[in-house]
């Protein structure tokens, strides 16, 4: 199949490579089609083996009590793997455990991997079921040591011998090389051909068993970004969970980064994927409104919902994802600029505030500072957080063009809100004429529009002021 490879299987105390430990290792090294070494050992995991794992594998706490520790068997393991491709059934599991176990010893593992689950899928595309039990049943392979490391390795070895005889050594080697080009890192249960994913900008959606996506992401290089999820899955818990749950991938190409960002934010809010965190729907957004009267108490009031209107941004400061974040930010400003907590509404009471007593307030609460001066200092302190007034007379379009695909998108914005993305004059006219909904503030759209619609802007984009259709290159 390959010039040099090692068939390997591990038994462990559980399925989490970061938390669980190895209890048994078996390996068979094959060079130029000939077995040159066979090795198997129990490993003392240093932790208790649960009754469930004991029943599954047959490995008990008593059996590993006098077994060598993992650090003691590492030299033999690395000797076997030297210069070889690591081959395993669901190689992600075994490779991930080895990476973590060796990392705890400050030892790096550098070897290519090949998954026999994916090899089975490649050889038998019309067959369902590529787990080891399914392969054993389909090919008439038996073992008395299922779920023991050496027993499972010998099943893989027998299966490889059968498929070599069926397809021929050259064909099997070509298929193995296909997997070694990068797809060996993919989850074995993934049905999507990753080679079909374009390398340009867009959004990708990971699906599990259900019709709703479990994760939505974006990138200017779709295929590379998708592959990075799987290469990181043996190191990062979230990526590992995604790799275990994923079944298929869908993608939507965009003209550029702006379209990908907008589409990602919309899809995450629409579907609420389990593994997305940052872009979920913002139900608690709020901002501070400053009273124009310096003598008002409190000077600031918290606004949210419909009151958080782009038409009012000239008097609003923020935005904040929650009331707690807004209060925390205001307390920091008060301490940093010696503002009065009483006047701001952060502290109840009348007369001299506690902050003044310890030298952290300039005394608007007790007549040592005028309300007008305190009000002015408050405005200056808040100025960095002031929400920007919409700088255009109406809706505008941000045009993106992809020179490689020829795709051009126009992203329509009004009052910092994303209205639609269109690709033709007809779609543009329809989007503007049929717009009836009240604009709802969205933090992600606001930040993106602020970044791309205001100077200096970004290269590769053009702002279209739709009232006059005048173009202004940024």
Could you read off the pLDDT of 116-143 as tens digits, one per residue?
998 999 899 888 889 999 999 999 999 8
Confidence of residue 99 (pLDDT cuts 50, 70, 90): confident
CA dist., res. 378 & res. 333, Å (int): 9
- For residues 427, 431, 434, 436, the Cα torsion angle rounded to the nearest 10 degrees is 170
Which pLDDT band holds residue 436 (cuts at 50, 70, 90)? Answer: low
pTM over 0.85: no
Check whether 96 has a pLDDT greater than 90. Answer: no
Q: What is the pLDDT of residues 40-95, one digit of tens each?
A: 999 999 999 999 999 999 999 999 999 999 999 999 999 999 999 999 998 888 98
31 contacts 4 by C-beta, under 8 angstroms: yes
Residue 8 Rama label (left phi>0; alpha psi -120 to 50; beta): beta
Give the mean pLDDT of 446-469.
Answer: 69
pLDDT: which is higher, 240 or 49: 49
**CB 473 within 8 Å of CB 399:** no
- Where helices occur in 189-294 by DSSP H, the ranges are 222-231, 237-245, 257-271
Residues in CB range of 312: below 8 A, 6 or more apart:
289, 303
Q: Are 418 and 427 in contact (CB under 8 A)?
A: no
Provide the sign of the torsion angle of the four alpha carbons 344, 350, 351, 352, taken in this order. Answer: negative
Kindly tell me if the per-residue pLDDT of 472 is higher than 90.
Answer: no
Q: How many CB atoms lie within 10 A of CB 73?
A: 18
Question: What residues are paired with 22 via a beta bridge?
Answer: 12
Q: Are 50 and 13 in contact (CB under 8 A)?
A: yes
Residue that is written with structure tokens 């003392």 in the block: 44
Q: Using the predicted structure, report yes or no on whether residue 459 has a pLDDT greater than 90.
A: no
DSSP state of 258: H
For residues 92 and 5, the answer to whether their CB atoms sit within 8 Å is no
Q: How confident is the model over 305-330, as pLDDT tens digits?
A: 778 888 788 889 999 988 999 999 99
Q: Which CATH class is domain 194-271?
A: alpha beta
Please provide the CATH number assigned to the domain covering 4-181.
3.30.420.10
* Residue 184: per-residue pLDDT: 46
- How confident is the model at residue 278, as a pLDDT? 63
Residue 397 has pLDDT above 70, yes or no: yes
List the catalytic residues: 147
Residue 460 predicted with pLDDT over 60: no
Given a contact cutoff of 8 angstroms between Cβ atoms, the answer to whether 220 and 226 are in contact is no
pLDDT for residue 347 is more than 60: yes
Per-residue confidence (pLDDT) for residue 88, from 0 to 100 = 95
CB-CB contact of 411 with 418 (8 Å):
yes
Q: Where are the alpha helices (DSSP H) in 35-168?
A: 51-57, 61-64, 70-81, 91-103, 116-123, 132-139, 149-167
Mean pLDDT to the nearest integer, 144-168: 94
C-alpha to C-alpha distance for 356 and 171, rounded to whole angstroms? 83
Q: Where in the chain is the domain with CATH 3.30.420.10?
A: 4-181
- Give CA separation, 400 vs 197, 256, 421, in Å: 21, 6, 10
More confident residue, 333 or 427: 333
Q: Tell me the per-residue pLDDT of 257-290, one tens digit each, with 9 for 90 and over.
A: 999 999 999 899 889 998 987 655 566 889 999 9
Q: How confident is the model at residue 394 (pLDDT cuts 50, 70, 90)?
A: confident
- Name which of 304, 242, 305, 311 is nearest 277 in CA terms: 242
pLDDT of residue 276: 86
Give the mean pLDDT of the chain: 88
Model pLDDT, residue 463: 72
Residue 471 pLDDT > 60, yes or no? no
pLDDT digits (tens, 9 = 90+) for 177-195: 878 765 546 787 887 878 7
Give me the percent of the chain exceeding a pLDDT of 70: 92
Q: At what angle do helices 116-123 and 169-180 cross, to 10 degrees?
A: 120
Q: Contact at 8 Å (CB) between 136 and 127?
A: no
Average pLDDT, integer, range 229-235 = 72
Q: Which residue has the tokens 């202004």?
A: 472
The pLDDT of residue 468: 40
The pLDDT of residue 206 is 96
Where are the domain boundaries for CATH 3.40.1440.10 in the chain?
194-271
Q: Which of 94, 93, 92, 83 is nearest to 26 (CA)?
A: 94
The pLDDT of residue 369: 96
Q: How confident is the model at residue 469 (pLDDT cuts 50, 70, 90)?
A: very low
Distance between alpha carbon 442 and the CA centroid of its chain, in Å? 21
Contact in structure between 33 and 60 (CB atoms under 8 Å): no
């Amino acid at each position: 199949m390959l010039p040099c490879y090692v068939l390997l299987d591990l038994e462990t105390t559980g399925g989490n490579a970061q938390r669980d430990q190895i209890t048994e290792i078996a390996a068979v090294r094959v060079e130029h089609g000939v077995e040159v070494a066979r090795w198997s050992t129990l490993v003392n995991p240093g932790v208790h083996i649960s009754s469930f794992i004991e029943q599954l594998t047959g490995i008990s706490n008593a059996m590993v009590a006098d077994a060598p520790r993992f650090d003691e068997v590492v030299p033999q393991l690395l000797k076997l793997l030297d210069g070889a491709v690591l081959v395993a059934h669901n190689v992600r599991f075994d490779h991930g455990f080895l990476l973590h176990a060796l990392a705890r010893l400050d030892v790096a593992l550098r070897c290519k991997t090949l998954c026999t689950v994916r090899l089975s899928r490649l050889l038998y595309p019309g067959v369902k079921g590529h787990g080891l039990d399914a392969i054993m049943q389909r090919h008439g392979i038996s073992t008395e040591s299922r779920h023991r490391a050496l027993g499972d390795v010998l099943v893989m070895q027998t299966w490889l011998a059968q498929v070599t005889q069926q397809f021929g050594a050259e064909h099997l080697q070509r298929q193995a090389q296909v997997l070694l080009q990068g797809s060996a890192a993919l989850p074995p249960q993934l049905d999507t051909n990753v080679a079909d994913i374009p390398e340009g900008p867009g959004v990708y959606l990971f699906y599990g068993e259900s019709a709703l996506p479990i994760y939505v992401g974006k990138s200017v290089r779709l295929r590379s970004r998708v592959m990075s999820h799987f290469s990181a899955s043996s190191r990062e818990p979230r990526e590992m969970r995604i790799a275990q749950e994923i079944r298929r991938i869908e993608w939507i190409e965009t003209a550029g980064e702006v379209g990908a960002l907008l589409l990602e934010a919309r899809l995450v809010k629409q579907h609420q994927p389990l593994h997305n965190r940052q872009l979920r729907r913002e139900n608690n957004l709020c901002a501070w409104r400053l009273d124009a009267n310096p003598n008002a108490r409190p000077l600031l009031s918290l606004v949210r919902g419909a009151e958080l209107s782009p038409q009012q941004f000239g008097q609003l400061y923020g935005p904040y994802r929650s009331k707690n974040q807004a209060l925390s930010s205001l307390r920091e400003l008060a301490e940093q600029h010696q503002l009065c907590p009483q006047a701001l509404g952060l502290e109840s009471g009348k007369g001299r505030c506690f902050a003044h007593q310890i030298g952290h307030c300039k005394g608007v609460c007790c007549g040592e500072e005028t309300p007008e001066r305190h009000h002015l200092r408050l405005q200056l302190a808040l100025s960095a957080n002031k929400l920007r007034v919409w700088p255009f007379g109406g809706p505008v379009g941000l045009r993106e063009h992809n020179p490689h695909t020829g795709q051009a998108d126009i992203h329509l914005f009004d009052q910092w809100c994303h209205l639609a993305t269109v690709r033709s004059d007809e779609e543009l006219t329809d989007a503007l004429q049929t717009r009836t909904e009240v604009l709802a503030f969205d933090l992600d759209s606001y930040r993106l529009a602020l970044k791309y619609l205001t100077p200096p802007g970004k290269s590769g984009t053009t702002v279209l002021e739709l009232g006059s259709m005048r173009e202004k290159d940024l």
